[in-house]
Amino acid sequence: MNSELVNVLLISERAEGASLLRQRLTQRGCECYVATSSAQAARLFAGHEFDLVLCTFWMQGMSTLIPVLIGSGASLFRSVAVEDSCWWMPAVRHGEECVGAPALRASEFKVALDRIVGEIKARRRFTSGLSNWGVTSEQRLIEVAMR
């Protein structure tokens, strides 16, 4: 797994069902994995660390993802069909539960998704730069917080 890439788990009813989303994410420097069942998602979680989890539908057992992602720094959004479009509901943002946060329309989510991917990449560059100097990200964050 390339540490430069943002790791995304797409959970969809069909592997082809998330093709446009996967294409958009790949163009932005993401490595995408697709699961079509909660069992597949669990197997992928066992072997990978994901920055972002996007569910195009909500299946039985998916609520177990929320506790797994809390504290991880990852984000989880799920799509909910609304008339002829969808809304994206945040459940976890940056490792913090946010169930009940306002939903994003499809057009808003495209903008938010680009921002989220950019933030993940920036955080990686920051922590990578610190480790090159022998400073852990925790040490740097403590220094910044103490100012």
In the chain, what is the greatest distance between 2 CA atoms, to the nearest angstrom? 53
In a domain, 42, yes or no: yes
Answer whether residue 93 is part of any domain.
yes
Helices 137-146, 106-132: crossing angle, 10 deg rounding: 100
**Residue 128 domain-assigned?**
no
53 falls within a domain: yes
Structural domain includes residue 144: no
Host domain of residue 59? 6-122
How many domains does one find in the chain? Answer: 1
137 lies in some domain: no
pLDDT tens digits for 43-95? 998 889 999 999 988 777 777 888 888 998 899 999 998 888 899 999 999 99
pTM of the model: 0.81
> What is the per-residue pLDDT across 105-142, written as a single tens digit (0 to 9) for each?
999 999 999 999 999 999 888 877 665 555 555 555 55
Q: In this structure, what CATH number is given to the domain that contains residue 104?
A: 3.40.50.2300
Amino acid at 141: L
Residue 147 domain-assigned (yes or no) = no
Task: Enumerate the β-bridge partners of residue 90.
Answer: 77
Structure tokens at 2: 């390339």
In a domain, 105, yes or no: yes
